[in-house]
Amino acid sequence: MFSVNVRDHMMIAHSFSGEVFGPAQRLHGATYVVDATFRRASLDPDGIVVDIGRAATELHAVLAELNYRNLDDEPALAGVNTTTEALARVVADRLAERVHAGALGEHARGLDGLSVTLHESHIAWASYERPL
């Protein structure tokens, strides 16, 4: 399996529901380094997994929808505990929509999978992986 990874970051505010989260139940901020890894079993006709420039542009666009926002106020995330794991899925699903819409190029429709990792710090991160 071949893979290409692009990286960006986002800063958000949010709060959690549930006693397990202790003080994080209150509004707080988080900064994430975000990795998006695109996978395919064989290279496309151009000899690549995906155009790195397009992948980076689309990841940035997806993160711009969340960056500098209080996620508690985002209608699309209403009722969601926006944990690192849940946000990894949100980003992956939004990137997948862009792949299917052709935003990463026609050959990108042949991608097999996508993984998104949100790094909370240098010692803690969470990922979500999905087929395409």
Show the domains of the chain with their CATH numbers: 2-131 (3.30.479.10)
How would you write the pLDDT of the chain (132 residues) with one tens digit per residue? 999 999 999 999 999 999 999 999 999 999 999 999 999 999 999 999 999 999 999 999 999 999 999 999 999 999 999 999 999 999 999 999 999 999 999 999 999 999 999 999 999 999 999 999
Task: Please say whether the beta carbons of 60 and 66 come within 8 A.
Answer: no
Q: Distance between CA atoms of 116 and 125, rounded to whole angstroms?
A: 10
Instruction: Tell me the sheet residues that pair with 11.
Output: 31
Give CA 30 to chain center in angstroms: 15
Q: Distance between CA atoms of 37 and 115, rounded to whole angstroms?
A: 5
Q: Distance between CA atoms of 32 and 29, rounded to whole angstroms?
A: 10
3-state secondary structure of 50: coil
pLDDT of residue 41: 98
| Alpha-carbon distance values, 33 to 24, 62, 64, 70 (Å) | 20, 13, 13, 17
